[in-house]
Structure 1
Amino acid sequence: MTDERYSISQVSRCFGVPISTLRYYDELGLLPSAGRKGNVRLYGPAELRRLALIQRLHHRGLVSLADTAALICEAPADDRPTGRDVLGASIETIKGRIEDLRAAQHLLEHMLTCPRADPVRDCTELRVELDQAVEDGLGALDV
């Protein structure tokens, strides 16, 4: 990678991020520019790598924007969790999402192969799952 600098509009286009988002990241201290040429923010290789990291962490839904800040900002705030805490919590969240997706996949695969003519309305397994969801939902009223 060269030491070339890229304008905010070039970075916006190349990374698929609105200019307003890049400005917001700068305001938050997540992605300060490497400098300016007149009023135009410029970004160098280090800033582009940092943006790529932000995209991998936040845009892919791995961690919140606040947690992204906790991971990559040089001076962590006292009220932020540590980077390792963020990573551990994110892993647990992802594990939960994976379990949910596996359950959804199982249900869809069952409905696809269900011998009933109309599995959405007549599938016994689906009806049991829906009855449980209704019971769980109404159970929250008792709290």
Structure 2
Amino acid sequence: MVVVNEPLHPIGEVARRFGLRVSALRYYDELGLVPPAERRGTVRYYGREELRRLALVQRLHREGMVTLADTAVLTTDRHGEEQPAGRQVLADTIAGMTRRIDELVAARAVLEHLLTCPTADPVRQCSKLRADLDEIVDRVM
């Protein structure tokens, strides 16, 4: 949607300012993620709405929240309709993040223990670590 007197920015400028390659913006256009406001010849131009959408795509995808495919599900225009697929993507993403956070908290606890373990070589000599590793081996085997 182009607003009268809204400044339009050429694809090269947008790519540079958003830290992207022009090819990435073209790919986003092909996927329907960030279509340009207009084209003049072979040059794509972006207005404020498209730049806002690009910022959303970057926030969702580049910051590692969701995959590019899930970003497409979340940003597909449905003209005000409920988006159950989008809500499911959000719920699944939150569940995955929660699992990853739990894994990182557990990993941090192991590293903090090793850092304070009184043995000379905690990675090889720590009895707590050895017991944890034996538990893993027993579970796997």
Which category describes the TM-score, using the shorter chain as reference length? 0.7 to 0.9
- Aligned residue in 1 for 2:124: 121
- Aligned residue in 1 for 2:90: 87
Pair 125,3 (structure 1): closer, same or farther in 2 beyond 3 Å: farther
Tell me, in whole angstroms, the C-alpha distance in 1 between the residues paired with 2:131 and 2:20. 44
TM-score normalised according to structure 1 size: 0.84
Larger deviation, residues 26-35 vs 66-75: 66-75
Tell me, in whole angstroms, the C-alpha distance in 2 between the residues paired with 1:21 and 1:124. 51
Tell me, in whole angstroms, the C-alpha distance in 1 between the residues paired with 2:28 and 2:84. 19
- Aligned residue in 2 for 1:16: 19
Tell me, in whole angstroms, the C-alpha distance in 2 between the residues paired with 1:81 and 1:20. 31
- Unaligned 5+ segments in structure 1 are 139-143
Q: Which has the higher contact order (CA 8 A, sep 6+)?
A: 2
The correspondence of residues 22-101 of structure 1 with structure 2, limited to 5 A, is 22-75=25-78, 82-101=85-104
Pair 4,88 (structure 1): closer, same or farther in 2 beyond 3 Å: same
Pair 114,32 (structure 1): closer, same or farther in 2 beyond 3 Å: same
Identity %: 53
SS at match of 2:118: coil
Matched, 1:3 2:6: yes
- Unaligned 5+ segments in structure 2 are none
Deviation at 1:33, TM superposition (A): 0.8
Contact 1:70 1:81 in 2 (8 A): no
Deviation at 1:133, TM superposition (A): 3.2
Contact 1:114 1:123 in 2 (8 A): yes
Aligned length in residues: 134
Deviations, residues 22-69 of structure 1 (Å, cap 9, x unaligned): 111110101101112331111111111111111111111111111111
SS at match of 2:25: helix
Contact 1:5 1:43 in 2 (8 A): yes
